């Protein structure tokens, strides 16, 4: 099983869209996926028409360490732990607790067998665009971190910002008896929303040309950008013959790109 977090410091870089489509692509390949929605905007949960309420045990219960957490079966090969719109308030409430960054780690360990966590090939975590407690929890449990970067000054600067923060967390989250860090994830970047023949995109492509940490380039395409808003993943769009024929090159590139991402993780 692999745990992958989609994280970014800057909003609007396509993080949730990438997480959603990568999970759907893996599920279509026969992999079993568990999504965990740690973005208090809950866009991923709402894409699957799952809304946190008193009857649904959301990610809030992981951080509060109380109540049951519901694993919702939302689609063939896809399950989801719903987000909670008050997660930022919960983060504030547990801010002074010594184990605040280890809550997801402890929950996974405590429920690995009882909730059959081992049945999943991938756990995919969608983080809020920040480096708060929930994001730190996700990074600590992850094998890999995928962070979208976009062709803008602040979008590309966020690459270094995230790396610095993860390095600091690596030094902070230490198992005291061994001195080893709980943070073992590899950080990769995905160049996203890349436009054709624009100066900002060309500059970014030149800057990342020899950067092995950037494992994919995804062009700006309306089909892709609107997929989670329209609640139709790209892999399902392919089933429409007319759409597929009109966008044949896009679908071919999409398949190749996601296959390359999976191979590098």
User: pLDDT tens, 213-248?
Assistant: 999 999 988 889 889 889 999 999 999 999 999 999
The whole-number pLDDT of residue 82 equals 96
Does the global pTM surpass 0.85?
yes
pLDDT > 80? residue 156: no
Task: Indicate the DSSP class of residue 138.
Answer: H
Q: Where are the domains of the chain?
A: 2-264
Average pLDDT over residues 118-128: 97
The whole-number pLDDT of residue 229 equals 84
How far is Cα 105 from Cα 97, in angstroms, rounded to an integer?
15
**CA distances for 132 relative to 7, 138, 201, angstroms:** 11, 10, 29
Average pLDDT over residues 238-259: 94
The whole-number pLDDT of residue 54 equals 59
State the fold for domain 2-264: Rossmann fold (3.40.50)
How far is Cα 113 from Cα 118, in angstroms, rounded to an integer?
7
């Amino acid at each position: 099983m692999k745990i992958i977090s989609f994280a970014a410091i800057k909003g609007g870089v396509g993080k949730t869209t990438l997480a959603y489509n990568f999970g759907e692509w893996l599920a279509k390949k026969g992999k079993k996926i568990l999504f965990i929605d740690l973005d208090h905007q809950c866009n991923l949960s709402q894409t699957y028409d799952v809304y946190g309420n008193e009857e649904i045990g959301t990610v809030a219960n992981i951080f509060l360490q109380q109540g049951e957490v519901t694993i919702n079966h939302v689609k063939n090969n896809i399950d989801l732990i719903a987000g909670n719109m008050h997660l930022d308030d919960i983060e504030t409430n547990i801010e002074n607790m010594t184990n605040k960054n280890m809550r997801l780690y402890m929950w996974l360990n405590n429920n690995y067998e009882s909730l059959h966590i081992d049945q999943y090939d991938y756990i995919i975590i969608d983080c809020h665009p920040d480096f708060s407690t929930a994001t730190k929890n996700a990074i600590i449990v992850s094998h890999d971190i995928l962070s979208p970067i976009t062709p803008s000054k602040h979008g590309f600067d966020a690459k270094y910002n995230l790396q610095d923060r993860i390095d600091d967390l690596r030094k902070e989250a230490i198992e005291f008896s061994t001195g080893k860090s709980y943070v073992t994830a590899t950080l990769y970047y995905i160049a996203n929303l890349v436009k054709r023949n624009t100066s900002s995109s060309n500059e970014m492509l030149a800057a990342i040309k020899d950067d092995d940490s950037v494992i994919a380039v995804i062009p700006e395409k309306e089909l892709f950008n609107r997929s989670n808003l329209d609640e139709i993943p790209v892999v399902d769009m392919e089933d429409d013959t007319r759409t597929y024929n009109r966008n044949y090159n896009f679908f071919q590139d999409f398949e190749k790109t996601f296959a390359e991402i999976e191979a590098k993780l």
